[in-house]
Structure 1
Amino acid sequence: MQTTWTIITRTRARTAEILTELVAAAERMGLHINQNKTKFIATNTNTRAGNVDANLIINDQNFEAVKEFIYLGTSVNPNNNTSEEIKIANRCYHGLSKYLANKRLYQKTRMRLYRTLIVPVLTYGSEAWTLTKTDESALSIFERKVLRKIFGAVYEKEYGDVDITLNCRISTSIHLVVKILPL
């Protein structure tokens, strides 16, 4: 049996204390913590907190410090960077691009492909994201790229460039969807 744990603490000392308790409790039950599969990530950039990249050694077990890992399909890193999720969604977009640009398919069908195949890939794990202006901009750029593939380049004579989300009759843009998802 394999169990996944997520332990969140404010200090390295508290992390060591909780891991010590966890190892002791597991041993009492006859379980073993696999040190090769147990990793931790430090998000504290405060240099006074000590070396955040050093491994933790507890009861002769060495727990590796990592800068990034995949948890439930989502990349976890100290910067809370969403660029990896956008890259994954971009791969999905490129895999579907010939269908999204196919004028033989109705626009409604192409939008359904976008909403059912690309948006879930992009927003998976987004409940834990903290969006910065840069992240919002990257999400908007990605969304406009997909919508331009579906609807083609649309221009209005009065304004020059177009607000493509209005022309596509989309209820909300992707960065708003990410913001309103419940935790």
Structure 2
Amino acid sequence: MLNGLSRASQQVGLRMNMSKTKIMSNAHGPLQPVIVENTALEIVDEYVYLGHEIQLGRSNFEKEVNRRIQLGWTAFGKLRAIFSSKIPQCLKTKVFEQCVLPVMTYGSETWSLTMGLIRRLRVT
């Protein structure tokens, strides 16, 4: 099926990015190499898709929360010049709401959080 998708994509001028295409399998299916266009696709246990870490089986939201907190601090650090400038606080708040908060909270509606993780997010 993937070879068919690759051929159909090429007919309309698109190409599959083999370095970004990954294979995941659950415990019920045999794990075998998948080859598309003479390239063996990487087999992974987890990967980041649309900003959310995907993994089969029981989700580890603590790992995802830690990753998002780190991403939030990174985004915050990149805006250090704005936050330490003399612009009004209301504008700084808007920058934070539009640049840092989305990095930390995208897709978080579906997380099952413990009180400890909720506390960590609030502190951050």
Shorter-chain TM-score tier: 0.5 to 0.7
Q: Is residue 92 from structure 1 mapped to residue 65 from structure 2 by the alignment?
A: no
Whether 1:79 and 2:60 are equivalent positions in the alignment is yes
The answer to whether structure 1 residue 134 and structure 2 residue 111 are counterparts is no
Greater radius of gyration (CA): 1
Counterparts in 2 of 1:75 and 1:41: CA distance versus 1, 3 Å = farther
Which structure ranks higher in relative contact order (CA pairs < 8 Å, sequence separation ≥ 6)?
Answer: 2
Q: What secondary structure, in the 3-state scheme, does the structure 2 residue paired with 1:31 have?
A: helix
Q: Give the RMSD, CA atoms, in angstroms.
A: 3.2
Q: Aligned letter for 2:50?
A: L
Aligned partner of 1:40 among 12, 16, 24: 24
**TM-score with structure 2 length normalisation?**
0.63
Q: Is the 8 A contact 2:47 2:54 kept in 1?
A: yes
More strand, by proportion: 2
Runs (5+) with no aligned partner, structure 2:
7-15, 36-40
- 1:31 maps to 2:12: no
How many correspondences in the alignment? 102
TM-score normalised over the length of structure 1: 0.45
Runs of 4+, deviation exceeding 6 Å: 33-36
Select the residue among 33, 45, 68 that pairs with 1:67: 45
Give yes or no for contact 1:55–1:64 (8 Å, CA) kept in 2.
no
